[in-house]
Amino acid sequence: MNPVAAIGSVFLDFLAACGRLGLFAAVSVGQMARPPYYPRLILRQVIEIGYFSLPVVGLTAIFSGMVLALQSFTGFARFEAESAIATVVVLSMTRELGPVLAGLMVAGRVGAAMAAEIGTMRVTEQIDALVTLATDPFRYLVAPRLIAGTLMLPCLVLTADIIGVFGGYMVSVHKLGFGPDTYLKNTFEHLEAMDVISGLVKAAAFGFLIALMGCYHGYHSKGGAQGVGAATTNAVVSASILILTSNYLITEAFFAR
């Protein structure tokens, strides 16, 4: 095959996939607004995404906060800037590490589960059964996951921020010899509302993207168990890439001068 044609074919496939995803997202968002609503299904997803992700997100946050304090201390000691550690920890957690790490962990845990569940429903004709029962799969399967993902990620990230700052506090006070009052004062002195808000906006976007990718790849899976496996992998990989890409774009929108 002509190499230029091969590149063109890949590019066209990419554009077609973008179009399909855009259409899927537009239909999903459109159906989120239309009744009937399924509060029980939304609640189930809220528990699945929000409550059951707490341990993994909490663990990630506390160790990230602890490492951040330790690394900052060893690095900043060279410039005698140890007093900036509290600020570095709180700004890093609220602006970047909280949303990105929580997003990546939830993408691995929840995005994969969504793709596997919806993908299995697809290959076992359960989605066809929903349609024959006059139930729109977008409203019944996709909308509750998108709503729960968008609402719960900010809650998880807020929790991760607090736990991460607490991790930094523990290391700084009990290992590095900082005074508790001074550390807390430094933590809140330079923290602005926008630092937390930007992280929560990122979290909402990440939650939407994770659920969208999980549903999209699951909905379009085919070919039995292998297809469901591929959908699961694709959901996690594409959600992770979109999280990192949109993280930059949202950061630029909030903080670029």
Partner 1 sequence: MTAGAATGRVRIAIRGLRVAFGPKVVLDGLDLDLHDGESLVVIGGSGTGKSVLLKCILGLLRPDAGTIVVDGEDTTRMGSRARDALLRKFGMLFQSAALFDSLAVWENVAFPLTHVGGVARDKVRDVATRKLADVGLAPEVGLLSPAELSGGMKKRVGLARAIAAEPEIIFFDEPTTGLDPIMADVINDLIVDCTRRLGATTLSITHDMASVRKIATRIAMLHGGRIIWSGPVGAIDTSGNAYVDQFIHGRAEGPIQMAVATP
Among the listed residues 6, 131, 244, 253, the single contact to partner 1 using CB under 8 A = 131
When the beta carbons of 104 and 121 are compared against partner 1, the nearer one is 121
Residues 169/235, Cβ–Cβ less than 8 Å:
no
When the beta carbons of 2 and 132 are compared against partner 1, the nearer one is 132
Our finding on whether 134 is near partner 1 (CB under 8 A) is yes
Region of 65-73, 74-82, 114-122, 168-176 interacting with partner 1 (CB under 8 A)? 114-122
**What mask of x and - would describe binding to partner 1 in positions 58 to 97, judged by CB under 8 A?**
----------------------------------------
For the range 126-135, what are the long-range contacts, defined as Cβ-Cβ under 8 Å and sequence gap of 24 or more? 127/219
| Residue in the block written with tokens 């076992």 | 124
Which burial class, exposed, middle or buried, applies to 31 when counting CB atoms under 10 A from its CB (0-12, 13-18, 19+)? middle
C-beta of 120: minimal distance to partner 1 in Å?
7
Region of 12-20, 88-96, 134-142, 215-223 interacting with partner 1 (CB under 8 A)? 134-142
Region of 52-60, 75-83, 84-92, 116-124 interacting with partner 1 (CB under 8 A)? 116-124
Closest CA to 143 of 21, 39, 17, 234: 39
Give one DSSP letter per residue of 1-29, joined into a string: --HHHHHHHHHHHHHHHHHHHHHHHHHHH
Region of 73-81, 122-130, 151-159, 163-171 interacting with partner 1 (CB under 8 A)? 122-130
Our finding on whether 46 is near partner 1 (CB under 8 A) is no
Alpha helix (H) residue ranges in 124-223:
126-132, 137, 143-174, 180-189, 193-219
Closest CA to 38 of 187, 189, 167, 140: 140
Our finding on whether 133 is near partner 1 (CB under 8 A) is yes
Residues 91/39, Cβ–Cβ less than 8 Å:
no
Sorted by sequence, the CB contacts under 8 Å of residue 214 that are 6+ apart come out as: 110, 111, 112, 113, 114, 115, 118, 145, 235, 239
| Total residues interacting with partner 1, rule: CB under 8 A | 15
Q: What b/e readout covers 41-72, taking b as 16+ CB neighbours within 10 angstroms?
A: bbeebbebbbeebeebbbebbbebbbbbbbeb
When the beta carbons of 87 and 126 are compared against partner 1, the nearer one is 126
Among the listed residues 61, 104, 112, 117, the single contact to partner 1 using CB under 8 A = 117
Among the listed residues 74, 124, 182, 226, the single contact to partner 1 using CB under 8 A = 124
Among the listed residues 60, 72, 120, 186, the single contact to partner 1 using CB under 8 A = 120
Our finding on whether 129 is near partner 1 (CB under 8 A) is yes
Our finding on whether 197 is near partner 1 (CB under 8 A) is no
Binding site for partner 1 (CB under 8 A): 117, 120-121, 124-126, 128-136
